[in-house]
Structure 1
């Protein structure tokens, strides 16, 4: 299989992900889930996602659609379209699956995935993370990961604007 095909094979719909999860569960894999916009992938994202991947066997990333990013971040975002963001994330070797979600929160997607570990940044209190109830009810873990200070899409966007 070509490297390009390996990247494309990490792109899932909710329906195809549901089927793949059954396989991973049968194989006894520990599923880790996180989500975000991931508009301009940067060092902070890579560090965060690599640490999330270390918490289990399979890293699944829920990615906000273009429409949901605009609702969250404003009409000038996203900078990169949803398909580009999926491809970039899928190209990371430690990422196993990427899937879009359009809802205001990833609650429905977390309910589908039923992860063993739910991960968000340390700017959240675990009990306030969307999906906490789902993961805890199945005996899973909800973890937070510290960000690398100074790395954010907003700070990159600001630097670009200041340079022009």
Structure 2
């Protein structure tokens, strides 16, 4: 990983300390999370929209073990270090931190973002961490998803096109 990309990937405690020093009402911290396996146009548009909601975008990235618990034993396709590096290469992403828990609640409680962003395919009542952010005076934003853009769809296309060769 190049030096500039390495600066974006931080451990939870280091990121929390940095955010405490840099937090500002004019530069709200936006948080989102996900697996981001096989990064695609839907991910890029989503992350750009999330970044536009504030002054700083933090991405909580599910670890490989966490992805396996959520998506099954065949996932992720791309390992966590490479997924983190790809995310770090996006201009709209300011920081990435990897978490191993099945959901991001503990990470959200530690980082205390001003804005929690999630895809519009999530009902507000189902967004983990929403209560924690709202109780601190923050807000939760649901971002439109790109129809037809999904990692599962990409995997299905590859399997369909290349099976039986």
TM-score where L is the length of structure 1: 0.95
Once the two structures are TM-superposed, the CA of residue 124 in structure 1 deviates from its matched residue by: 0.9
Unaligned runs of 5+ in 1: none
Alpha-carbon separation, structure 2, partners of 1:26 and 1:135 = 16
Q: Aligned pairs, how many?
A: 162
Identify the residue that residue 86 of structure 1 maps to in structure 2: 84
Divergent runs of 4+, >3 A: none
The 5 Å alignment of 1:1-164 reads 4-25=2-23, 28-164=26-162
Structure 2 distance, partners of 1:47, 1:25, is 25
Cα contact 2:26–2:55 (8 A) shared by 1: no
Aligned Cα RMSD in Å? 1.4
Structure 2: where are the runs of 5+ without partners? none
**Deviation of residue 127 (structure 1)?**
2.9
Deviations 1:18-44 (A, max 9, x none): 111112215852000000000000000
SS in 1 for 2:70: helix
